[in-house]
């Protein structure tokens, strides 16, 4: 299966099945028993009078509830700990009879954004002993460090007995010869000759045999349903913990809070599940296949489902979507839209393989002109089985399938906070244990009731909606991006975009318009006719059925300028008429990104054969006889490139009339040429490019161009776009021999290597970059930050540049529009394809409007989502800390909150504040800083700890103010009986705790609504501001005006204004000796003033100290910059 893989077989056994069923019964039985004991409690309390009480008194039923709850919690957690629940009840066996196969494989490499090594070490140290115990108990195979175990269920084909399973989106089939499972794929052939021999198609018997080996032609992804996504969310470990916490609210007359907490947790799970469903639906839409296709089976064309295609099938090409990778073996006129797969907007004409290619080994990259890939769309072809293709691969083994597998099969990136949150949870766990201990100490004489008080405290220390923090923020930003015509197939990429500090751009079609306009030619003496003829015949243009010219913009502009026409298309030969003469196209070699050339062989009316080669000037010069290169070649090339003129060079040679072009290799054709001249084009810049570059630079994002064009042309465009200051000198590095020579672009003078302290921009050719990286990688990486333009880069060079930036610690973005950008788009942390295909898989983000402003939009939303997520996280930590301490203080005073107080604290405020806080729009411009991605970093810690400290200070002030009131001294709560929660809330202590502590929930959220420069101004978060204003108004009115309204929360209330409780059908009298909780007017205003000062202090702390002063004290801009290694030459530029 692969290096470092191991396979272990397991099968079901009737004893294991019975035990498994019994265990599952106990899990559901525990939940039913908790429900039953809750009913018994209310039967004993008389609330349910239909049946006689089962227990003698309240204490007995509560003790029974606590025992079942505690045992059930431990049992359920032990059951949920294993990596695979079913594996516990399986029996080890040989692979040929296995029902499950345990795969121990090397973990997919996951890049960590801002790694937190200490936190990861702490978690591993804490978890390792527990894992060891469970691994021993459950007899897990040995798992080396850096490996992971996956249990894959084996499916058996009923007809053939074939045993198979899927792992990491790939199908594995049992091989009886090796007694192991191997990848279920098959190779149709290696050479073009192999393909041509299979033009007769398959027999039904052979097709069925292959179908059982490779499986159906589909990506193994089930159709998502919102119900299933929500169910899977609730099956997670965190919700098991939440379920048991919710149960503690069911008895003890808190059943209404059981409902409130259930609604809160269900809402959180539903929201997360819904956002996940939307993300999965996008991927499913891309991966789903349906329809039928005609294939050649047993000598006849039959219609089959596209899912039944197998490698080796001969397919009749039809217009529409393509669902497999295939090579064209017979065709005359096939046009394919590849934008969904490569981002290339221009339709591509495809041609069949022929006998001249028989000896060549097939390569999808070098034989792209003959290949049609899954995920593309055939726009034009002949009907009635006239155009045929040979299926090479299906399912996950297609080009599209491999791209989707990368997205679906493993986590590509991991944030620092993914490790930090585990440390935070451990800290909160310890704090929760401490507070529970304090509660038991305070209520030591009432252990039965202390259990519930303690669990209530513990449940708020770790907030219930904490898992929704990042999902909701990302989902909101993804929706806003869709409104701007930017699709996203990898939602986590939005958060990563918030940390991007290095952006790379292709030039043509990205920074400049995709189209080229013909500018003119420069030809050597006596070569004018040859240049014109070369422009007319050396291209890859085809005519569509509608008479439209198809091909890239450069070829179209060049061809149109000659006045030539494609007058006849017959068979495989294209006839071109130019200047009254006809030329038949005999052979055509498509543009090769590595050679940077394309070539043709044509025959004129007299039978003479001419070969024309077109490509980059540097490549053409290398292929020409040096005697034919004019002395003005270099000067013309440089002068035109400096003006931003796009240049191609043309060369030709005359072939012997008897030359058999079918066996003429490309190397022979493209050699010993005669130079003809240059063809000049203008590529105008997009109007919004300079604005985008300026905004990115203002947002502390370095911008770099990676282009296949001449590096001098790139420098000209870079200066025009503002990537390079127009007045700034530029040093160009170009390969000379085995070294790199540096020249000043403006005066062409050779200069020394860039040295330490120099303030200058650099440019490199692709060859020079590769040379530097090979000869002295430390030096190459040291000057990397000053390289603004990489020119004459092939796709491999682009990948090398982006990969180097990633290795240096940059958070990278790549924006491109063509097939030669695919590798770089996948290598970058964030890839943005400018494509009109909504189902594009070439990059995580696709700009359907093909606008470069999409880059700014993605970064703005990324920073906003990351900032909003941390705002909500901070709110939940503060909410949990505030409420846990409020409840601990209540336990110390032998009091509790009234019913509507609980509903607002744990229901309305908790839910609405958290879900409205991330609704803030992104800031209109990019900030020169990036939001933090650290839960334990100084900004987050100062924000959370500072707000908490101020809240505790003002809460203490309120309690001290209450204690100093003369009227309060004789109205203190003195009862120590907490058995009846319906009466322990009608007191002044509860009123003060709820008024000030409850207000602090909203005040903290209001302070966190300041988004600094990552989110829109605070007042533009209309929903949040409206809710906060409403709830604050409630709080002030209830504090200052005794009325039936304030009686909702049982504060500032007397019996005349008393209203019904959540659980009562009629108003309930105030349960204290004084029959009132109304406070004197002066003290009410004291509390109001404390709340106002509390709010102002929190806002000042967050807005001025955390968001402004702290950025100056801790230079986040510099702290976020990666570390660059010093080379042996010590030439890292300042």
CA distances from residue 260 to 33, 62, 134, 670, 707 in whole angstroms, order as listed = 21, 21, 36, 77, 58
Q: Is the pLDDT at 984 greater than 90, yes or no?
A: no
Q: Which residues of 358-379 are buried (b: 16+ CB within 10 A; e: fewer)?
A: bebebeeebbbbbbbbbbbbbb
Q: Is the pLDDT at 1095 greater than 70, yes or no?
A: yes
Regarding whether 643 and 546 lie in a shared domain, the answer is yes
* pLDDT attached to residue 923: 92
Q: What mean pLDDT do residues 1040-1060 have?
A: 89
- Is residue 236 within 8 A of residue 226, CB to CB? The reply is no
Please say which residue of 408, 427, 452 terminates a domain: 408
* pLDDT attached to residue 1115: 52
* pLDDT attached to residue 133: 60
Euclidean distance between CA atoms 484 and 855, whole angstroms: 12
Q: Is 787 helix (H, G, I), strand (E, B) or coil?
A: strand
- Residue of higher predicted confidence among 899 and 1062: 899
| Mean pLDDT of the chain, nearest integer | 85
* pLDDT attached to residue 592: 79
* pLDDT attached to residue 1127: 39
CATH of the domain at 396: 2.70.150.10
CATH of the domain at 712: 3.40.50.1000
Q: Is the pLDDT at 496 greater than 60, yes or no?
A: yes
Q: Is the pLDDT at 637 greater than 90, yes or no?
A: no
Q: What mean pLDDT do residues 372-384 have?
A: 87
Task: Show contacts of 353-356: CB within 8 Å, 24+ apart.
Answer: 353/192, 353/195, 353/196, 353/327, 353/328, 353/329, 354/572, 354/662, 355/196, 355/662, 356/587, 356/661, 356/662, 356/663, 356/664
Regarding whether 753 and 653 lie in a shared domain, the answer is no
Q: How many domains does the chain have?
A: 5
Q: Is the pLDDT at 1126 greater than 60, yes or no?
A: no
* pLDDT attached to residue 957: 96
Please say which residue of 783, 816, 848 terminates a domain: 848
Q: Is the pLDDT at 136 greater than 60, yes or no?
A: no
* pLDDT classification of 1128: cutoffs 50, 70, 90: very low
pLDDT > 70: percent of the chain: 90
Nearest to 162 by CA among 181, 148, 140, 146: 181
Span of 126-130, 487-491, 663-667, 936-940 with lowest mean pLDDT: 126-130
* pLDDT classification of 135: cutoffs 50, 70, 90: low
Q: Is the pLDDT at 333 greater than 60, yes or no?
A: yes
Tokens (6 digits) for 273: 């599940």
* pLDDT attached to residue 655: 93
Regarding whether 698 and 626 lie in a shared domain, the answer is no
Euclidean distance between CA atoms 494 and 204, whole angstroms: 48
The backbone torsions φ and ψ at residue 260, rounded to the nearest 5 degrees and listed phi first, read -60, -50
Is 669 a domain residue?
A: yes
Count Cα neighbours of 293 within 13 Å in the Cβ-side half-sphere. 28
Is 260 a domain residue?
A: no
Q: What mean pLDDT do residues 293-314 have?
A: 93
Q: How far is CA 263 from the centre of its chain?
A: 30
Regarding whether 549 and 584 lie in a shared domain, the answer is yes
Is 450 a domain residue?
A: no
* pLDDT attached to residue 1120: 43
Q: Is the pLDDT at 126 greater than 80, yes or no?
A: no
* pLDDT classification of 40: cutoffs 50, 70, 90: very high
Is 248 a domain residue?
A: no
Range of the domain at 42: 1-107+146-184
Is 567 a domain residue?
A: yes
CB atoms under 10 Å from CB of 1109, counted, come to 11
**Tens-place pLDDT, residues 945-962:** 999 999 999 999 999 999
Regarding whether 678 and 641 lie in a shared domain, the answer is yes
- Is residue 402 within 8 A of residue 226, CB to CB? The reply is no
Please say which residue of 184, 211, 237 terminates a domain: 184
Q: Is the pLDDT at 195 greater than 80, yes or no?
A: yes
Regarding whether 987 and 971 lie in a shared domain, the answer is yes
Residue with token string 């440089």: 638
Q: Is the pLDDT at 986 greater than 50, yes or no?
A: yes
**Tens-place pLDDT, residues 52-69:** 888 888 889 999 999 999
* pLDDT attached to residue 1130: 36
Is 234 a domain residue?
A: no
* pLDDT attached to residue 971: 86
Euclidean distance between CA atoms 228 and 505, whole angstroms: 40
Regarding whether 878 and 731 lie in a shared domain, the answer is no
- Is residue 791 within 8 A of residue 764, CB to CB? The reply is yes
* pLDDT classification of 639: cutoffs 50, 70, 90: confident
Q: What mean pLDDT do residues 501-526 have?
A: 83
- Is residue 1034 within 8 A of residue 995, CB to CB? The reply is no
**Tens-place pLDDT, residues 1-27:** 445 678 889 888 888 888 888 988 998
Q: What mean pLDDT do residues 701-728 have?
A: 89
- Residue of higher predicted confidence among 389 and 726: 389
Regarding whether 872 and 964 lie in a shared domain, the answer is yes
Regarding whether 670 and 798 lie in a shared domain, the answer is no
Cβ neighbourhood burial of 834 (10 Å; 0-12, 13-18, 19+): buried
Span of 98-107, 618-627, 760-769, 1026-1035 with lowest mean pLDDT: 98-107
Is 796 a domain residue?
A: yes
Count Cα neighbours of 437 within 13 Å in the Cβ-side half-sphere. 6
Is 133 a domain residue?
A: no
Q: What mean pLDDT do residues 854-862 have?
A: 95
* pLDDT classification of 864: cutoffs 50, 70, 90: very high
Count Cα neighbours of 714 within 13 Å in the Cβ-side half-sphere. 27
Tokens (6 digits) for 83: 């990596």
Euclidean distance between CA atoms 436 and 430, whole angstroms: 10
- Is residue 654 within 8 A of residue 609, CB to CB? The reply is yes
Regarding whether 976 and 953 lie in a shared domain, the answer is yes
* pLDDT attached to residue 1134: 31
Q: What mean pLDDT do residues 722-734 have?
A: 87
pTM: 0.82
CA distances from residue 287 to 179, 402, 792 in whole angstroms, order as listed = 32, 11, 35
* pLDDT attached to residue 857: 96
Regarding whether 1096 and 955 lie in a shared domain, the answer is yes
Q: Is the pLDDT at 207 greater than 50, yes or no?
A: yes
Regarding whether 810 and 720 lie in a shared domain, the answer is yes
């Amino acid at each position: 299966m692969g290096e470092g893989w191991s396979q272990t077989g397991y099968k079901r056994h009737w004893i294991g099945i019975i035990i498994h069923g019994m265990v599952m019964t106990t899990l559901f039985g525990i939940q039913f028993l908790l429900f039953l004991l809750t009913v018994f409690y209310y039967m004993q309390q008389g609330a349910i009078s239909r049946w006689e009480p089962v227990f003698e008194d309240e204490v007995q039923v509560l003790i029974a509830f606590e025992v079942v709850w505690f045992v059930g919690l431990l049992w359920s957690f032990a059951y949920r700990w294993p990596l695979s629940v079913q594996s516990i009840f399986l029996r080890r066996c040989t692979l040929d009879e296995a029902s499950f196969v345990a795969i121990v494989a090397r973990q997919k490499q996951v890049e960590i954004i801002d790694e937190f090594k200490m936190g990861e070490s702490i978690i591993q140290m804490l978890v390792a002993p527990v894992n060891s115990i469970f691994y021993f108990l459950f007899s897990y195979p040995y798992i080396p460090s850096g490996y992971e175990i996956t249990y894959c269920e084996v499916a058996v084909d009923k007809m053939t007995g074939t045993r198979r399973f899927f792992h990491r989106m790939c199908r594995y089939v049992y091989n009886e010869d090796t007694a192991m499972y191997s990848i279920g794929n098959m190779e149709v052939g290696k050479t073009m000759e192999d393909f041509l021999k299979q033009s007769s198609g398959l027999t039904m018997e052979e097709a069925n045999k292959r179908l059982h080996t490779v499986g159906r032609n589909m990506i193994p992804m089930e159709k998502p349903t919102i119900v299933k996504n929500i169910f899977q969310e609730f099956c997670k470990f965190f919700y098991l913990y939440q379920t048991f916490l919710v149960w503690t609210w069911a008895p003890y007359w808190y059943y209404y809070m059981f409902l409130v907490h259930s609604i809160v947790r269900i809402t959180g799970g539903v929201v997360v599940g819904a956002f996940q469903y939307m993300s999965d639906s996008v991927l499913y839409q891309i991966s789903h296949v349906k329809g039928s296709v005609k294939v050649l089976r047993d000598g006849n064309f039959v219609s089959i489902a596209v899912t039944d295609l197998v490698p080796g099938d001969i397919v009749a090409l039809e217009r529409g979507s393509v669902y497999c990778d295939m090579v064209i073996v017979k065709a005359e006129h096939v046009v394919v839209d590849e934008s969904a797969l490569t981002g290339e907007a221009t339709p591509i004409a495809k041609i069949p393989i022929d006998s001249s290619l028989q000896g060549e080994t097939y390569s999808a990259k070098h034989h792209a002109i003959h290949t049609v890939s899954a995920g593309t769309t055939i726009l034009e072809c002949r009907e009635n089985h006239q155009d045929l293709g040979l299926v090479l691969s299906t399912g996950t083994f297609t080009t599209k399938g491999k791209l989707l597998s990368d997205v679906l099969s493993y986590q590509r990136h991991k944030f620092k906070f993914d490790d930090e949150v585990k440390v935070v949870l451990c800290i909160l766990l310890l704090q929760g244990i401490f507070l529970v201990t304090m509660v038991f100490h305070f209520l030591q004489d009432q252990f039965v009731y202390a259990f519930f008080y303690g669990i209530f405290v513990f449940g708020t220390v770790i907030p219930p909606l904490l898992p929704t923090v990042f999902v909701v923020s990302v989902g909101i930003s993804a929706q806003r991006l869709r409104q701007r015509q930017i699709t996203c197939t990898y939602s986590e990429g939005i958060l990563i975009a918030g940390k991007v500090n290095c952006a790379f751009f292709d030039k043509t079609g990205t920074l400049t318009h995709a189209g080229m306009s013909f500018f003119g030619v420069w030809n050597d003496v006596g070569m004018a006719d040859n240049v014109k003829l070369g422009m007319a015949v050396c291209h890859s243009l085809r005519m569509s059925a509608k008479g439209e010219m198809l091909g890239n913009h450069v070829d179209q502009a060049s061809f149109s300028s000659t006045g030539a026409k494609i007058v006849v298309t017959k068979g495989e030969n294209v006839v071109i008429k130019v200047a009254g003469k006809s030329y038949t196209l005999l052979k055509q070699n498509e543009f090769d990104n590595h050679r940077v050339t394309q070539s043709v062989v044509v025959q004129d009316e007299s039978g003479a054969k001419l070969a024309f080669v077109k490509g980059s000037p540097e490549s053409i010069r290398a292929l020409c006889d040096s005697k034919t290169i004019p002395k003005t070649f270099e000067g013309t090339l440089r002068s035109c490139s400096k003006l931003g003129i796009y240049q191609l060079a043309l060369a030709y040679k005359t072939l012997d009339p008897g030359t058999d072009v079918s066996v003429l290799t490309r190397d022979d054709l493209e050699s010993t040429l005669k130079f003809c001249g240059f063809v000049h084009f203008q590529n105008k810049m997009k109007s919004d490019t300079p604005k985008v570059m300026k905004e990115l630079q203002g947002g502390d994002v370095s911008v770099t161009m990676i282009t296949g064009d001449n590096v001098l042309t790139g420098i000209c465009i870079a200066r025009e776009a503002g990537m390079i200051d127009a007045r700034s000198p530029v040093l160009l590095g170009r390969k000379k021999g085995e070294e790199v020579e540096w020249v000043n672009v403006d005066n062409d003078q050779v200069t020394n290597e860039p040295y330490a302290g120099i303030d200058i921009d650099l440019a490199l050719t692709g060859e020079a970059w590769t040379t530097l990286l090979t000869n002295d990688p430390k030096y190459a990486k040291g000057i990397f930050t000053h390289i603004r333009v990489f020119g004459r880069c092939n796709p491999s060079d682009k990948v090398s540049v982006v990969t180097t930036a990633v290795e240096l610690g940059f958070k990278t973005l790549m924006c491109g529009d063509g097939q030669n950008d695919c590798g770089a788009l996948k290598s970058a942390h964030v890839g943005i394809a400018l494509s009109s295909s909504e189902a594009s898989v070439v990059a995580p983000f696709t700009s359907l409007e093909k606008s470069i402003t999409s880059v700014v939009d993605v970064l703005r939303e990324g920073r906003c989502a990351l900032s909003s997520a941390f705002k909500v996280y901070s709110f939940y930590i503060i909410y949990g800390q505030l409420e846990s301490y409020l409840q601990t203080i209540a336990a110390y005073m032998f009091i509790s909150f009234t019913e509507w107080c609980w509903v607002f604290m744990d229901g309305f405020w908790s839910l609405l504040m958290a879900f409205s806080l991330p609704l803030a729009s992104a800031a209109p411009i990019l900030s020169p800083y990036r939001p933090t991605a650290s839960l334990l970093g100084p900004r987050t810690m100062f924000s959370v700890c500072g707000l908490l400290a101020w809240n505790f200070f003002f809460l203490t002030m309120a309690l001290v103010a209450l204690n100093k009131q003369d009227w309060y001294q004789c109205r203190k709560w003195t009862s120590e009986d907490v058995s009846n929660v319906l009466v322990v809330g009608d007191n002044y202590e509860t009123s003060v705790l709820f008024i000030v502590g409850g207000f602090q929930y909203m005040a903290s959220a209001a302070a966190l609504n300041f988004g600094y420069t990552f989110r829109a101004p605070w007042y533009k978060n209309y929903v949040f501001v409206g809710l906060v204003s409403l709830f604050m108004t409630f709080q002030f009115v209830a504090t200052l005006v005794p009325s039936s309204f304030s009686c909702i929360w049982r504060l500032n209330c007397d019996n005349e204004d008393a209203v019904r409780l959540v659980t009562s059908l009629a108003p309930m009298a105030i349960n204290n000796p004084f029959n009132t909780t109304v406070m004197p007017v002066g003290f009410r205003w004291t509390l109001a003033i404390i709340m106002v000062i509390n709010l102002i202090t929190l806002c000042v702390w967050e807005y001025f100290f955390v968001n402004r002063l702290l950025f100056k004290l801790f230079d986040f801009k510099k702290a976020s910059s990666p570390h660059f290694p010093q080379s042996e030459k010590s030439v890292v530029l300042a």
